[in-house]
Amino acid sequence: MLRRQCGKTAVSPLLSSLEMKFCAKSGAYNDCMDSAPDIANIVDDWLRQFAAYPAAHAALAPVAVFREIGAPADLSLVVPALAALAAEALARDRTLWIVTADDSLLPDISNALDLRLRPLCLVLPGADYAGSIALRATLSLLKSRLTRAAEDSKGPAWAAMRTRLRVDDALWRSCLAWSARGLDRETPPAAIGSLFPVRIGPWALAERLAAPADWVMLIQSGQLPETVRTPWPDARCTLMLATGFVSGVTSLVVVDEAIRLRAEIEVLGQELAEMELELATAQGELAGFTERYHALIAGRIADLDRIQADLAQAKMQRTPDDPALDMAARQAAARAQQTRRESAAYGNRDASGEHSTEQVFKPSNDLKKRFRQLAQKIHPDRACNEADRAWRTQLMSEANRAYRAGDIRSLDEVFALWLEGQHGNRSTLSGAVPSAPTSAGVDALAAEVTRIRQRLVAITTELDRLYGSKLYELFAAVRVAAKQGRDLLQEMAQRLDGQIEQANNELDRLDPVAVS
């Protein structure tokens, strides 16, 4: 794990997330350890400059500072260094604005962010249409991570976020209500930017959100207007990184509709991959729990319902003219039939639950990165025709299976199949030179944006349905009990065993003749 001490500042262990970096052009994972010390040096220098000035909440006289700083010699380190800076701001409980000249760097920065911290970072493109979709996706991602309360939402940064949301509970609820309504023309709550400790976006959007920050990093990846090259409002220190390169896409608000849509798809494709990862993780966690639930509980419930149905039938036969007993017998029989079907649908499993521990779903950070990057490339909603969609659907289905199984090798095999498809000159090559824009081409791009948008809504709906289910409520309760050293399912199984024994004893005490 990387850690470098320098003066009074030090790059925290959060920088260890930079140990592996995905190469977007080749689609391969490359070892980043050789460059990690260089990234540490860059971030350490930025931190020293920010630390030289008190934070916005410090009890000292405000001093607005603007400084232009040089870019690192290796420009490929800019994006991972910015991601590391975001992690450091969260670790030090500082708010941060990373302000770009345009939208072109946003997908790369978003990809580089630590997966555990991504929901705490608001990454927004400049166009209102794309921005609203990305904002709703980020809110859904944050809400989901808070609801799951798993390992990937623990630590000081998440504790600080929960405190922030409790303090701004009215704003948080207002933002969720705005997101749920899904109205295109409805603007989000004015202070929505202040909910997120780290915000990343183009200068025009940053100015419009007007959310104050302790630290501001301006990225001269395009032409920033002179009005922006000043101390940021309410920030104690504003650094402008003159990167020395100008991006090819100036913004999402450009004359060429095809260029705008392609840039929009790049941003929204990242949001889609994040949400697919969140859904797959939530489903994987619940699937592992479901295995153990059926092994320990479902079969016992089915046995108890069967015995209680026999009891109700025996009582009804002893007093056949009693309509209440007749109704009770019918209801008990129906309940027993339903639970028997549910249990049978899951197959015959050992009621001891001995194999359930093998089903605990705890995906590694590396596995999550691979799935996210793969989903971003192969997602069916990015297809250009039905044949391509069918191919992508097969790949996505296999990627989901491999992720649920924790099988990195199979994910690599899916990626290899994707590359074979590229070599086969499929029309949806990632990184291929786009064709000249035509009305049909623009329509196809617009349709892709629509599909991505619809899928994001569908994922949000599915997450809400999953978290609202009785099974997930039990899953959450089991996880809380586990933190207290209790095995809630085992306790439930023991209680059911006692109820089954009691019901059997009662059945034995009845007249055997009355029991058919």
pLDDT band at 127 (very low <50, low <70, confident <90, very high): confident
Q: How far is CA 514 from the centre of its chain?
A: 58
pLDDT value for 346 = 67
pLDDT above 50 for 429? no
For the chain, the average pLDDT equals 81
* Euclidean distance between CA atoms 440 and 151, whole angstroms: 46
Same domain, 217 and 299: no
Average pLDDT of the segment spanning 19-28? 34
pLDDT value for 424 = 53
pLDDT above 90 for 141? yes
Let me know: does 202 contact 126? Beta carbons within 8 Å: yes
Q: What is the CATH number of the domain that holds 138?
A: 3.40.50
pLDDT value for 131 = 86
Give the CA angle between residues 126, 132, 133 to the nearest 5°. Answer: 110
Same domain, 397 and 321: yes
Same domain, 210 and 282: no
- On whether residue 21 sits in a domain, the answer given is no
- Give the structural domain span for 403: 257-516
Average pLDDT of the segment spanning 132-154? 92
Same domain, 425 and 515: yes
Same domain, 70 and 82: yes
Residue 319 buriedness (CB in 10 A; 0-12 / 13-18 / 19+): exposed
- On whether residue 30 sits in a domain, the answer given is no
- On whether residue 178 sits in a domain, the answer given is yes
- On whether residue 503 sits in a domain, the answer given is yes
pLDDT above 50 for 247? no
Look up residue 80 and give its two tokens: 């991972």
Q: What percent of the chain has pLDDT over 70?
A: 80
Same domain, 364 and 417: yes
- On whether residue 477 sits in a domain, the answer given is yes
- On whether residue 22 sits in a domain, the answer given is no
Lowest mean pLDDT among 11-20, 306-315, 374-383, 484-493: 11-20
pLDDT digits (tens, 9 = 90+) for 295-328: 888 888 888 888 888 888 888 888 888 888 888 8
pLDDT band at 251 (very low <50, low <70, confident <90, very high): very low
Pairing of strands 96-100, 20-23: unpaired
Same domain, 94 and 224: yes
Identify which of 355, 365, 368, 420 has the alpha carbon closest to the alpha carbon of residue 391. 420
pLDDT above 90 for 120? yes
Give the CA angle between residues 197, 199, 203 to the nearest 5°. Answer: 145
pLDDT above 70 for 436? no
- On whether residue 150 sits in a domain, the answer given is yes
pLDDT value for 144 = 95
Q: What residues contact 305, with CB distance under 8 A and at least 6 apart?
A: 332, 335, 336, 339, 340
pLDDT digits (tens, 9 = 90+) for 50-64: 887 655 555 554 567
pLDDT value for 257 = 80
pLDDT digits (tens, 9 = 90+) for 181-235: 988 788 899 899 999 999 999 988 888 888 889 999 999 866 778 888 888 888 8
- For the chain, the domain total comes to 2
pLDDT above 50 for 250? no
Same domain, 283 and 369: yes
Same domain, 243 and 263: no
From 194, 227, 253, give the residue that closes a domain.
253
**Which has the higher per-residue pLDDT, 110 or 425?**
110
Identify which of 378, 352, 295 has the alpha carbon closest to the alpha carbon of residue 27. 378
From 229, 253, 277, give the residue that closes a domain.
253
What b-and-e string marks burial along 397-434, b requiring 16 or more CB atoms within 10 Å of the CB?
ebbbebbbeeebeebeebbebbeebbeeebebebeeee
Same domain, 333 and 383: yes
Same domain, 145 and 287: no
Distances (CA, A) of 261 to 165, 267, 397, 438, 493: 34, 10, 27, 13, 55
Average pLDDT of the segment spanning 21-35? 41
Average pLDDT of the segment spanning 43-56? 80
pLDDT above 70 for 28? no
**Which has the higher per-residue pLDDT, 130 or 401?**
401
pLDDT value for 17 = 37
pLDDT above 70 for 21? no
Rounded to two decimals, what is the model's pTM?
Answer: 0.78
pLDDT value for 211 = 84
- On whether residue 38 sits in a domain, the answer given is no
pLDDT value for 512 = 58
> What amino acid occupies position 187?
T
pLDDT value for 7 = 36
From 223, 253, 283, give the residue that closes a domain.
253
Same domain, 321 and 390: yes
pLDDT above 80 for 496? yes
* Euclidean distance between CA atoms 418 and 127, whole angstroms: 31
pLDDT value for 333 = 86
pLDDT band at 438 (very low <50, low <70, confident <90, very high): low
Average pLDDT of the segment spanning 364-374? 92
pLDDT above 90 for 93? yes
